[in-house]
A and B are shown apart, each in its own frame.
Chain A
Amino acid sequence: MSFQVMLQQLTTGFGSTLMIFCLTLLFSLPLGLVVYFGRVCRFKPLSWLVKCYISIMRGTPLMLQLLLWYFGPFYLWGMNIGGYKFTAIILGCSLNYAAYFAEIYRSGIESIPVGQYEAAQLLGYNRQQTFFKIVLPQMVKIVLPSVTNEVITLVKDTSLVYSVSYIEMFARAKQIAAAETTVMPFMIAGVFYYIFNFVVAWIMEWFEKKMNYYH
């Protein structure tokens, strides 16, 4: 197999990687906020339940979770999982990352001085206004470096979907390497991941700079 064909096949695989990455972020970033609300809910049973959820999501391997999400419905209810693989992957990744994001959001929100809430109360803002106008924007700035960390980890974690034999870049590299007995595809995949993360880090840094207008 020529280098060019290899590159072309890996690029196609990279498209799938990118897709998993984008969809997971799209769902897990807002979902993290929902999980946060559950975590700090004053209705104790709910907050306890969410705490358990976070504990399980963080306490077990993502690969294992992916296998469960994919094969679970088949073994539990005999569901036909033929066309369900991609959904299972996005579901598994999003729910896992939402747990991490929720805790990052919580740390950010808890570091906002209580005086901000008091000022908002005195000015007559209601709870929604206080959260969305005062707390959330300040939280975003605080958590940005931690979120960058998670996002970079996610880029690399997309490779875990090979465990449910979904063919993205990493799985493709493995296939080619086995068939052609060469490490070349791994090296190319490595370069792809690195460049991707470089771009991600650059974008996140740009966001951080944009938020630098106050401190």
Chain B
Amino acid sequence: MMVRQTFHHELTDLEQELIRMGALVEDQLRRAVRSLTEQDVVLAHQVIVDDDRVDAMEMDIERRCLTLLALQQPLATDLRVVSTVLKIITDLERMADHASDIAKVTVRLNHEPLIKPLVDIPEMARITSSMVRLALNAYIHRSIDEALTMIRLDDDVDHLYARVFRELLDIMRTQPETVAQGTYLLFVANYIERVADHATNLGEWVIYMVSGRRQELNH
């Protein structure tokens, strides 16, 4: 029989909770951007409220990690798993904060007509939320290749961000009355870009967890 069975059960439970948190964060991002494109203030409020669930999950997972470190003193892979979970939840929590920030923009705009149809921002969000999902899959599969594939998508997000930035700047220059909304939309693009950066952090932590090697791959 294996020794330390209880510990390994707890570790498995912890990882399942992490995946649930990741799925919730991905969902938060998608709903936040949908609230913006569809000007759905009710949905935006829901996203803002649900951010508390993400925060609660982070606290819970963090507490469980610290308990395992204190009581089980994990080593080797187990140590890397616990420290990876501890790091990843911080990134996930920040991502959820950005989703909440996007929802707050929806609330601020409050059905105000959009200065342009949103195309690139939803596309950025689509790639970014798929990055989050791919990062979680890479975690589940313990796959460095999947993590690296996911991290490469960050370049696409960065390109779109640069384009959105230029476009919005042009609109604001020529139509000064759009400056308020244009600035909000710039914020949104920036939030999404930040979420993608956090997703690449997830990928870097997965690589550490699998290989024991830390490397900076983005920015």
Bind each other: no
- Which residues of B approach A to under 8 Å, CB–CB? none
